[in-house]
Structure 1
């Protein structure tokens, strides 16, 4: 059985060598997958980066604009905003990831990709339209509308991301690496944009307009790039091959019993569980530390200059993590250790990263009442956060590349979507753990 599955994977991996199989000229399809990865995360990254904008919109109107960041003077809506956004995004994200993975063979991938991308685009056009509207007289409706937008946006993003990973699973592994690298570029782009707006001294409204305009443009570009996949010979070959395999599989499964179809699902999950567990552990550890703990770390020279005060968190926490994450995902494309034949080593490496949690908690994260500060120098958070991002990107790339590669072509889309579910569950659990860890400081 193992030999049979390996033989059925040969065609898409050796496609550049076969005379009758198209080639990826100018790496056009690879670039498109990078853009799809960028489009799956960059809009959401810009949404959560616009924190100052929402604090401004929900501010106490009797106070000056300079006081919107003062925790002692915040309104109830300002205080609840971040937690409300996290809650409003987590549940639909989890549900729609499971939904997408469960219905990969029932709902056509083209419909899922186009509808979800259009949903994201419409939500950002709506969000953009509210930026320059005076909402002072209807703050509560604005707050509710924002949370509804978050729910719809999260659902659309979950369907798009899971479908994108399923789509990448149909292609050779380097295209999965392209997708995850594009996601990392999205995080890095958002971190750089945040730093630039701080340096420029932009107002919350101007920054938010730039963020949401960029998110809208990227969402539109993502939709266009996905459509282009059906116009390029190389991608058309793989998409048509997948349709043929799925149709044959559907014809066979129509006579199968429910138990036989369930057996096929469990067979795939049995094949990819080490990679699924490893990517789950990777993101659970990363989200336990980042950004809740890492963004709370202050510089030992916090009163020395703007770079160790105002810009310290933006650079050391967000920029370094996203830069390390991006580098790790690129390196994972050509340096694949452990190998696909060493799944348990991949799980162990992912588990060992738990060490980052106490290391970052013992840095000077404030406020704290229980734990001592062991690592006082700024060098420690710089090194720890850079390595956290680097290992996150590297291990996540290996897991996402290996999973769909271990199953039959007809199951590759389901395997890719299932890996996306593992990622999402890890993100959700890590976020919950971070709330506990902050209380333990």
Structure 2
């Protein structure tokens, strides 16, 4: 009898770790296509120097992302989450292929036509991400916190992976006549992924549950916290780090190194809460830390103006570390104490506020250009 219990526990543990791996892969797949485009900003800056691609492409992404997730969150109780996720991954796959098609069709010559096409593809990425992020976060919200942490870590891992691959491809093709284009094409190809199927969801959404308004009222601090985390992050990354950090000894590698640094520390930050004694659970404590993080704005401003590249790398590391850490702390703390359907709805609501923060941050990022001309 004791042996059967031991075997059952071992199977349960193996199942848990297998689920964590699947959630991590889903997290990678959610943002890999978009990060593939994001980490070749040096190529787009060379191809479209007049159009501020580091800022415009992000701005094209966000309205479709926020608008779609708002509609899906409002109707989440009537939507089949499995189909929603499959739709999102299918659009990701198709849009990633189109990035390569646009580059091949234009022969890497730039111009307003290819740039508009890339903006449209960025919008498609935002539309797809709204389907996938909210859907998976909603489903994972009523499961184990470890599964949510694995999914969020996978999100960050996609950025670290694409940044690392971009550094490799840039080094490999740096002396080639069309090195930037070749490296970017290789990275886009790496972002192409297959559709990932999921298990059918239980038909539990028909149970009696709190309304969206009631859930938001009870968790308004978590929602505002996520909004503020990403307002700050996206007001600096990637636009400011790509265009406004001056000239340093790293030359054209500088922006790539900063973006890679952010992505790596964002990934590390999402694993830090696994250490239970450093996971921040206090609602008041989370808000204090989130608000204190806005001191990074003047820190980045004065470092870009007067500091060296070592200080900028240090600040960027802290930006990524705190972004990943606080994201996991909020998402793993908020859904506790609710029924399954309510946790699903709350996960969607929090995702909507996160993406709204992304949008607001991208818009505010343009303020760095005040006084610099166009």
Greater Cα radius of gyration, structure 1 or 2:
1
Is this contact kept in 2: 1:298–1:312, CA < 8 A? Answer: no
Is this contact kept in 2: 1:197–1:207, CA < 8 A? Answer: yes
The counterpart of 2:212, out of the listed 265, 268, 290, is: 265
1:358 aligns with 2:298: yes
Q: Secondary structure at the match of 2:366?
A: helix
Q: Secondary structure at the match of 2:334?
A: helix
Give distance in 1, aligned partners of 2:156 and 2:285: 24
1:348 aligns with 2:314: no
The counterpart of 1:310, out of the listed 252, 260, 267, is: 252
Compute the TM-score of the two structures, normalised by the length of structure 1: 0.74
Q: Secondary structure at the match of 1:170?
A: coil
Give distance in 2, aligned partners of 1:208 and 1:382: 24
The counterpart of 1:51, out of the listed 20, 26, 41, is: 41
CA offset at residue 297 of structure 1? 2.4
Other-structure match for 1:429: 360
Q: Deviations over 1:211-264 (max 9, x none)?
A: 2211113xx1xx23xx2x43xxxxxxxx65xx24224x1xx5xxxxxxxx7x62
The counterpart of 1:277, out of the listed 224, 228, 239, is: 224
Other-structure match for 1:216: 192
Q: Secondary structure at the match of 1:38?
A: helix
CA offset at residue 166 of structure 1? 1.0
Of 29-38 and 132-141, deviating more is 132-141
1:297 aligns with 2:245: yes
Which consecutive unaligned segments of at least 5 residues does structure 1 have? 1-15, 59-73, 231-238, 253-260, 366-372
Of 185-194 and 123-132, deviating more is 123-132
The counterpart of 1:167, out of the listed 124, 136, 139, is: 139
The counterpart of 1:94, out of the listed 42, 58, 66, is: 66
Is this contact kept in 2: 1:57–1:135, CA < 8 A? Answer: no
Flag as ranges the 4+ runs of structure 1 deviating above 6 A.
16-19
User: For the structure 1 residues 285 and 146, does the alpha-carbon distance in structure 2 shift closer, same or farther, using more than 3 Å as the test?
Assistant: closer
Other-structure match for 1:407: 338
Give distance in 2, aligned partners of 1:312 and 1:53: 13
Give distance in 2, aligned partners of 1:270 and 1:127: 41
CA offset at residue 146 of structure 1? 2.7
Compute the TM-score of the two structures, normalised by the length of structure 2: 0.87
User: For the structure 1 residues 140 and 433, does the alpha-carbon distance in structure 2 shift closer, same or farther, using more than 3 Å as the test?
Assistant: closer
Which consecutive unaligned segments of at least 5 residues does structure 2 have? 1-5
CA offset at residue 26 of structure 1? 6.8
1:132 aligns with 2:104: yes
Is this contact kept in 1: 2:45–2:54, CA < 8 A? Answer: no
User: For the structure 1 residues 170 and 134, does the alpha-carbon distance in structure 2 shift closer, same or farther, using more than 3 Å as the test?
Assistant: same
Other-structure match for 2:3: none
Is this contact kept in 1: 2:100–2:188, CA < 8 A? Answer: yes
Of 92-101 and 133-142, deviating more is 133-142
User: For the structure 1 residues 416 and 440, does the alpha-carbon distance in structure 2 shift closer, same or farther, using more than 3 Å as the test?
Assistant: farther
CA offset at residue 128 of structure 1? 2.3
The counterpart of 2:29, out of the listed 36, 39, 57, is: 39
Other-structure match for 2:312: 381
Q: Deviations over 1:300-328 (max 9, x none)?
A: xx35xxxx32323322x212211111111
1:30 aligns with 2:20: yes
Of 279-288 and 123-132, deviating more is 123-132
CA offset at residue 359 of structure 1? 0.8
Other-structure match for 2:263: 322
Give distance in 2, aligned partners of 1:145 and 1:311: 27
1:245 aligns with 2:204: yes
Give distance in 1, aligned partners of 2:7 and 2:75: 34
CA offset at residue 281 of structure 1? 1.4
Q: Secondary structure at the match of 1:133?
A: helix
Give distance in 2, aligned partners of 1:404 and 1:148: 35
User: For the structure 1 residues 56 and 321, does the alpha-carbon distance in structure 2 shift closer, same or farther, using more than 3 Å as the test?
Assistant: closer
1:45-124 equivalences under 5 Å are 45-54=35-44, 74=49, 78-79=50-51, 81-124=53-96
User: For the structure 1 residues 94 and 404, does the alpha-carbon distance in structure 2 shift closer, same or farther, using more than 3 Å as the test?
Assistant: same
User: For the structure 1 residues 205 and 290, does the alpha-carbon distance in structure 2 shift closer, same or farther, using more than 3 Å as the test?
Assistant: closer
How many residues in Structure 1 have an aligned counterpart in Structure 2? Answer: 361
Is this contact kept in 1: 2:61–2:122, CA < 8 A? Answer: yes
The counterpart of 1:332, out of the listed 265, 268, 273, is: 273
Is this contact kept in 2: 1:338–1:345, CA < 8 A? Answer: no
